[in-house]
Structure 1
Amino acid sequence: MTPNLAHRLTNLAQTVLILAGMAGIAWAVVGLVAGPDLTLILVASTLAGLLLAPSVSRGLLLRGYRARPLRPQDWPAGHALLRDLVARAGLPRAPELWYVPSRIPNAFAMGRPEDSVICVTDGLIRLLSPREMAGVLAHEIAHVANRDLWLMGLADAMSRAVSLASWLGQMLLLVNLPLLIAGVATIPWTLPLVLAFSPTIMALLQLALSRQREYDADRAAAELTGDPAGLASALAKLERRTGRFWEEMFLPGRRIPEPSLLRTHPPTEERIARLRALRQVPHRVAADPLTLHLPPASAPPSPPRFHRSGLWF
């Protein structure tokens, strides 16, 4: 995973600018509501939480998804594929593989390069071919190697802080509205605008960061496998299958119109087009037998639904 210097510098500059913009807005909005002293305390506690408590949040999320570890004897082919990709990526430690008993095809990663987890659902294992699974696992490994999960956690924490400060500020304005009408108190006319629009601006910046990291993870996955067409094929399958689940819930037989501006991931068509534009490197994917022997499930996964944890799977 050695992108050229120009790509690395561009990627770094984009990430720094987006995070700096989010940090500036968060400091201004939270400072307006909480004051500079409390803002410093909140910033310190947020950074401490991101640095010291990743394992706690990871454990809660795994329990929420009813995930269980996938041992090498449960899924030999998956572990062999993961070891090959981790060696190519140069990670200090192979991520743990976990199984989520859900029919929704999905994969996600958590943690840092030194201590990470990759979760795969029953639906994903049964849907993808070995070549496509290699692309998906390489995509998640790229997120871990690039520390995207920490960056997105930081962006999410700042976005949530601004949303909370905006809500509290608007409540304070409503409480003090009689004083404002009577002329006893005054506020700058820009304050209501800042409180109203700052959460939207933060959300758009967070979406921009998420899209940038997804494109870069796709590129890194194609470098790891040497097979961008494999990941492109997996993305096309996932788009068709996950779209079908949501259509059956809300608009049976029809596509759900989704504004591209509000998608956390880039449009799948654009991701596939970028992958197909990359150069194919034959025989990079492990040549060992990779027939996907399905891991044994304790019970057939039930249809997707909302659980008490608030998660949909």
Structure 2
Amino acid sequence: MSEDKIFLQKITNFGRTTALMLGMLALMLGLGYSLFGTTGLIWAGILGVIGLVGSTQLPSQLIMRMQGARPLGAYEAPNLMRVMKQLSERAGLSQMPRLYYIPSGVLNAFATGNKNDPAIAITHGLLNRLSLRELSGVLAHELSHIRNKDLQLKSTVNIILRLTRVFSLTGQLLFFIYLPMALMGQPPFSWVAILLLIFA
């Protein structure tokens, strides 16, 4: 991929990430205002900015630990480490990603972090079933995500998916609280907030 295309990919990813974060922030502001008025709006804004920005800056080591991964020692896979070093240099990365091992038979690999804190996880299934050449292709693919700054976009999408799932479940729970109170003429909050949560 040419430098121009790489630059364009980075700009595109940045634009998509920013749009997703602004969209989620707007939803949180709407929910905050619908539920608690101006106070809710302010707190939703503060927590939204801190949560969305902070969650994309989590250390790769913490993310890997959450996935049940452990660092892969150089003595365990010396050839793979050598390939990783060569591929990282070709990709122009200032820091070689740390390799992690996941004790799972599933054929999977993923990258996380950023160019200053990159990491790549490989499952037991991949290590056992693929040749070194095939593993090199897998690593090259994951390195391209790091180089093109795809990881922040992927991380933002994952965070938003988790948040919307939580919002939806919360909305369904509040609906059952809201309905009987609304029938008694004492609705605790706006039905708009309930709909926003359920269909988030």
What's the TM-score, normalizing by structure 2? 0.75
Report the counterpart of residue 98 of structure 2 in structure 1: 96
- Superposition deviation, residue 45 in structure 1: 3.4
**SS of residue paired to 2:93:** coil
Report the counterpart of residue 308 of structure 1 in structure 2: none
The AA in structure 1 aligned to 2:154 is M
Q: Kindly indicate whether the alpha-carbon contact (under 8 Å) linking 2:87 and 2:140 is maintained by their aligned counterparts in 1.
A: yes
Q: Distance in 2 between matches of 1:172 and 1:101?
A: 40
Q: Kindly indicate whether the alpha-carbon contact (under 8 Å) linking 1:109 and 1:140 is maintained by their aligned counterparts in 2.
A: yes
Is 1:120 matched up with 2:122? Answer: yes
Q: Kindly indicate whether the alpha-carbon contact (under 8 Å) linking 2:114 and 2:151 is maintained by their aligned counterparts in 1.
A: yes
Q: Kindly indicate whether the alpha-carbon contact (under 8 Å) linking 2:170 and 2:198 is maintained by their aligned counterparts in 1.
A: no
Q: Kindly indicate whether the alpha-carbon contact (under 8 Å) linking 1:91 and 1:113 is maintained by their aligned counterparts in 2.
A: yes
Deviation per CA, 1:7-44, whole angstroms, max 9, x where unpaired? 66555544544444344334323543462122123224
Number of residues of Structure 1 aligned to a counterpart in Structure 2: 195
Q: Kindly indicate whether the alpha-carbon contact (under 8 Å) linking 1:29 and 1:166 is maintained by their aligned counterparts in 2.
A: no
Deviation per CA, 1:57-108, whole angstroms, max 9, x where unpaired? 335326x24x34231x432321221112111211110011223333222212
Deviation per CA, 1:249-272, whole angstroms, max 9, x where unpaired? xxxxxxxxxxxxxxxxxxxxxxxx
Q: 1:24 to 1:44 in 2, by over 3 A?
A: closer
Report the counterpart of residue 108 of structure 1 in structure 2: 110
Q: Distance in 2 between matches of 1:48 and 1:14?
A: 14
Is 1:177 matched up with 2:182? Answer: no
RMSD: 3.2
- Superposition deviation, residue 146 in structure 1: 2.9
Report the counterpart of residue 141 of structure 1 in structure 2: 143
List alignment gaps of at least 5 residues for structure 2: none
Report the counterpart of residue 70 of structure 1 in structure 2: 73
Q: Distance in 1 between matches of 2:109 and 2:134?
A: 12
Report the counterpart of residue 55 of structure 2 in structure 1: 50
Q: Kindly indicate whether the alpha-carbon contact (under 8 Å) linking 1:26 and 1:162 is maintained by their aligned counterparts in 2.
A: no
- Superposition deviation, residue 141 in structure 1: 1.0
Q: Distance in 2 between matches of 1:112 and 1:151?
A: 11
More helix per residue: 2
Report the counterpart of residue 85 of structure 2 in structure 1: 83
Q: Distance in 2 between matches of 1:186 and 1:42?
A: 23
